[in-house]
Amino acid sequence: MAAWHPVVAIHRRDALNLAGEDYHCKMKNQRDWYWRELTLLVGLYASFAIFYMLAIYYSSPPEYRGTLSWRLVYLDYPLKGLFTLPVWYLTFRTFRHWTLPGKVALNVLLLPVWVKGWQWTYYWITDTFTGGGHLQGPGEWWDVYIPALFYVLQFGIFHSWHYYNNLRIAEQDRAEAKELALSSELNALKAQLNPHFLYNAFNTISASIDPGQERTRDMIAQLSDLFRYQLRANRETVLPLEAELQFVTDYLALEKARYGDRLEYAIHVKEARLNNALIPPLLLQPLVENAVRHGLSPLVDGGRVDIFVNQSGPDLAVEVSDSGVGFVAEAANYGYGITNTRRRLDLIYGRSLFIHSEPGRGSRIELSIPLTYAPQSSSDRRRSPRPQAAARIS
């Protein structure tokens, strides 16, 4: 039931393959950027140390050049680099989700710790192992002022680097979202090639069924509604939750016709007004299909699928649970349905799925999106005349 039109099915399969490949590619690129940042840090310190030492060397009289100490290269700047690493890690790893003002405030707070930590450590090493040689008295303030300037300069470079990196990623995401939107539009246009032919075909088949086979007639009407909803989903970016849940109910009703008593299901909507909440179309059906196909189908006695919808703060929270075979979530190799839903949530809302499962104890998939409501007139009332599918919506 994942797709009713062969052209859409082929393009959806290709899009999901690309989505999975793109996810692994992004993870690899992220690891590459970590190493690039460390390389930038090492290169920055090596360049400044060598440049500073050469500047002192060529600005000194020739008779004093032989007495200059090269501790700047092998001790001073490497020590600054070691003190920079934890500050860099806190700023761009531990608190990477902080806003720029928050990160800058953290850098300002750690500035005196970095300067005095380096100064005391440098002085102790030189006094203990090289017999001194550092500035003394009022001159020690130069070992506060110059390192502080260098601290500000280096983290200015680091923030610029991260700004460029984040801007590059945002541009890639926008280009990818634009490409996906174009692909979806093309698929929708292909899927809409004379859809009335298919509706008429469904009606012809339904009219040719003997009067005593109402169940078959009802299943054909459900199939027609599923196809109609998918065509509508290709035209619109969000639809009322009520329409999405009815689509899921139609799908489950068809699956129940196949599995019989092995499949039980129920939909629980905590508040009636949530039926009018907006949700990207075809977001829940892949999760429900995954629960039926991979969770309940392997069991001889089948099982149960429950869908829970409620409001959690400013978000619409949805949970799809099953009493199926379960699996080890950390070691699972997810298929198209989970991969596609996770990718769509990331692109549209910057969010992901939360998957909880344990072998023999079923699975639970949770998601949340910002809660917005549709006008009352936006629900889809163009349905085939038939009895309502069996489901409890509480």
pLDDT for the residue numbered 306: 95
Residue 290, exposed/middle/buried by CB under 10 A (0-12, 13-18, 19+)? buried
Closest by alpha carbon to 267, among 253, 282, 257, 279?
253
DSSP 3-state assignment of 92?
A: helix
Residue 386 lies in a domain: no
pLDDT tens-digit map of 181-216: 777 666 655 555 455 556 656 666 766 677 777 777
Q: Is the dihedral of CA 161, 166, 167, 169 positive or negative?
A: positive
Residue 132 lies in a domain: yes
> Rg for the chain (alpha carbons), in Å?
31
Confidence label for 328 from pLDDT (cuts 50, 70 and 90): confident
List CB contacts of 353: < 8 A, sequence separation 6 or more.
338, 341, 342, 345, 365, 366, 367
Question: What CATH number does residue 323 fall under?
Answer: 3.30.565.10
Cα 144 to Cα 108, 122, 126: the distances in Å are 14, 12, 17
Residue 315, exposed/middle/buried by CB under 10 A (0-12, 13-18, 19+)? middle
Closest by alpha carbon to 364, among 355, 372, 353, 373?
355
pLDDT for the residue numbered 33: 64
For residues 61 and 117, state if they share a domain.
yes
pLDDT for the residue numbered 54: 83
**Other CB atoms within 10 Å distance of the CB of residue 182:** 10
| Greater model confidence, 325 or 45 | 325
Confidence label for 8 from pLDDT (cuts 50, 70 and 90): very low
Confidence label for 13 from pLDDT (cuts 50, 70 and 90): very low
For residues 174 and 256, state if they share a domain.
no
For residues 161 and 305, state if they share a domain.
no
User: What value does the mean pLDDT take over residues 227-256?
Assistant: 83
The alpha-helical segments, DSSP class H, found in the chain are 6-59, 71, 77-89, 100-129, 142-191, 195-207, 214-235, 241-259, 285-290, 336-349
Total of domains in the chain: 2
Residue tagged 């889809």 (tokens)? 380
For residues 250 and 365, state if they share a domain.
yes
**234: amino acid identity, one letter:** N
Q: To the nearest whole number, what is the mean pLDDT of the chain?
A: 79
Residue tagged 């001194």 (tokens)? 132
Token digits of residue 371: 């809660």
Q: Can you tell me the distance from the alpha carbon of 247 to that of 251, in angstroms, rounded to the nearest whole number? A: 6
For residues 159 and 222, state if they share a domain.
no
The sheet with strand 354-357 has its strands ordered as 263-269, 303-312, 315-322, 363-370, 354-357
Token digits of residue 347: 């692109």
Confidence label for 120 from pLDDT (cuts 50, 70 and 90): very high
Residue 204 lies in a domain: yes
Residue tagged 């005593």 (tokens)? 212
**16: amino acid identity, one letter:** L
pLDDT tens-digit map of 265-279: 999 999 999 999 999
| Greater model confidence, 382 or 202 | 202
pLDDT tens-digit map of 124-178: 998 888 777 788 888 899 999 989 998 999 899 889 988 888 888 888 888 888 8
**213: amino acid identity, one letter:** Q
Residue 142 lies in a domain: yes
Confidence label for 10 from pLDDT (cuts 50, 70 and 90): very low
Where among 135, 167, 186 does a domain terminate? 186
pTM of structure: 0.49
Q: Is the dihedral of CA 165, 171, 174, 178 positive or negative?
A: negative
DSSP 3-state assignment of 128?
A: helix
Confidence label for 19 from pLDDT (cuts 50, 70 and 90): very low
User: What value does the mean pLDDT take over residues 303-323?
Assistant: 94
Would the pLDDT of 342 be above 80? yes
Would the pLDDT of 65 be above 80? no
Domain that holds residue 260: 194-378
Among 211-215, 311-315, 358-362, the range scoring the smallest mean pLDDT is 211-215
For residues 182 and 201, state if they share a domain.
no
pLDDT for the residue numbered 9: 39
The percent of residues in the chain predicted with pLDDT above 90, rounded, is 29
Confidence label for 307 from pLDDT (cuts 50, 70 and 90): very high
Token digits of residue 50: 């060598």
